[in-house]
Structure 1
C-alpha cells in the first residue's frame, strides 16, 4: 500500500475539558509529528480517553484548540469535524466495531463509500488493503467468521484504507489474549509507519505502550511525563 500526499502533524494547545465539576483535562498541550507512534497511558479516570476524543474532534474542548496540519479541528463545526474524521483520520477500537452484517471487504470499503468515492474504486482499494495485511481469501467472510486477530486486521485495514494522516486507537488489544494482542500491535505499528501516518494509542497495558516510539502519561488531567523510547531510535 502506498501513499502520495504529505502527512500532517496533530497538535493540541492548552486544551481543557470538564464534565460538571470534574476537570478531565487541564491545559494539556501535545505535538504529534507525522509518522510518530505515541502511547497515552494513565490510571482510570486520568483523562486519557478524553484527550483521545478531543484529538479526534469527537469532543470539543472547553478551552484551547486542536489542529491537524494547521487545519482547525476543535473550532470547526460538527459537520466539518465529522468530515475531518472521515477523510483524514482512522480509528481502531477495542472490540473492532466491525459491522456484523457486512463482509470484510465491505467493512473496509465503508469509509470510502461514505466519502462518496465510486463503488468500484472503494472495493478495489479495500481489496488491496486486505491483501497488504495478509487477508487474501477472507474478503467475503463476515466478522463472526473471523478469528479475533483476523477481525482486528480488518479493523486496521478499514482505518488505513482512506490513507489518513493519523490513526487513533482506543485500547486496541483490550479484548485479546497477550499473544494475539502483540501480533495486532506489530501489524498496527508497522502498517501505520509504512504509510507515514501518525499513531496515537490509548492503553492501560505497558506491553502495548512499548510498541510505540513515545510515551505520554496523563495524571489528573495533566501530562505528567512525555518521553521517547528505544523504538524511536
Structure 2
C-alpha cells in the first residue's frame, strides 16, 4: 500500500457538507465550552481542530460525533439533524457511520487484535465469521496481518494504535474522529501512525476530524480550524502536508 499522505481536496468538493454545526453552544455548569460554533466538513475532507486546553475543541468533537448534544444550535450529518436524535439513535449512527481513534487506543485487553477489529461489525449484526474475515482483510490491507492473534498487552503502543485504526475503518465509516491519535507515541511511531491514518481514511473516501494540540500532527490534514474560548478563531487550508513529528 502506498503510504504517501493523500493530496489536498480539490476546490470542486461537493457543496453539501457531510457534517456541519450551526451556531452550537454548550454549557458545563457556569462554564461556556462552546459559544456559537458554525462549521462545515465536506465529504473526504481532513480537518484538524486545534486550540489551547479548555478552548472547547474536545467538546466540539463530542458534539460533532453525537456523543453529547449541544444546548443550542444544530449538528447535521448527511442531511439530517444528528443533535435531534434520541440517545439510542445517535448511538446507532455512531456505531454504523462513524469510526473513532483515541489517544489510548481503548482496545479490549482480553481479545486478540482480529476480534477487537471485528467487534464493531458484530455489534451491528454481522455474523462472527464474516466479521472476522473482514477484520483479517483490514489488518492485511494496512500491513499488520501478523498482529491478528496478539492481544493488546503483547503489542507496542504503535502496534496497538494501528489495530485501533483498523477497528475504526473496518465498517467503512463516513467520518472518522481522532482524539490526539499520536499523543501517547514517540515521534517516529507517531509519524507512522499519522501517515497510516490519513492514507487509509483517504482510501475509503471518509472524512477525518482530528483534535490535537500539536501543529505537526495537524499538518497531516488539509484544513486547520483553531478554537479559542469556545469560538472559531480561524479556519483555513493547510498548504503543507505530512507533519515532521
Structure 2 length-normalised TM:
0.90
1:4 match:
none
Counterparts in 2 of 1:92-103, with a 5 A limit? 92-103=101-112
Could you list the per-position Cα deviations for residues 11-57 of structure 1 after superposition, in whole angstroms to 9, with x for gaps in the alignment?
11111000111110011011110101000000000000000000011
**1:97 Cα offset (Å):** 0.4
Counterparts in 2 of 1:80-159, with a 5 A limit? 80-159=89-168
Q: Is 1:208–2:203 an aligned residue pair?
A: no
* Structure 1 counterpart of 2:35, from 15, 18, 26: 26
Cα distance in 2 for partners of 1:65, 1:158 equals 29
1:189 match:
198
2:52 match:
43
* Unaligned stretches of 5+ residues in structure 2: 2-15
Q: Is the 8 A contact 2:158 2:189 kept in 1?
A: yes
**1:8 Cα offset (Å):** 6.8
Task: Specify the SS of the correspondent of 2:33.
Answer: strand
| Distance change >3 Å, CA 8–CA 197, structure 1 → 2 | farther
**1:71 Cα offset (Å):** 2.1
Alignment RMSD (CA, Å)? 1.4
1:73 match:
82
Cα distance in 1 for partners of 2:111, 2:146 equals 16
* Unaligned stretches of 5+ residues in structure 1: 2-6
Structure 1 length-normalised TM:
0.95
Cα distance in 1 for partners of 2:81, 2:96 equals 14
Cα distance in 1 for partners of 2:23, 2:39 equals 8
Task: Specify the SS of the correspondent of 1:50.
Answer: helix
Task: Specify the SS of the correspondent of 1:137.
Answer: helix
2:234 match:
225
Task: Specify the SS of the correspondent of 2:24.
Answer: strand
Q: Is the 8 A contact 1:8 1:165 kept in 2?
A: no
Q: Runs ≥4 in structure 1, deviation > 6 angstroms?
A: none
Task: Specify the SS of the correspondent of 2:54.
Answer: coil
**How many residues matched?**
227
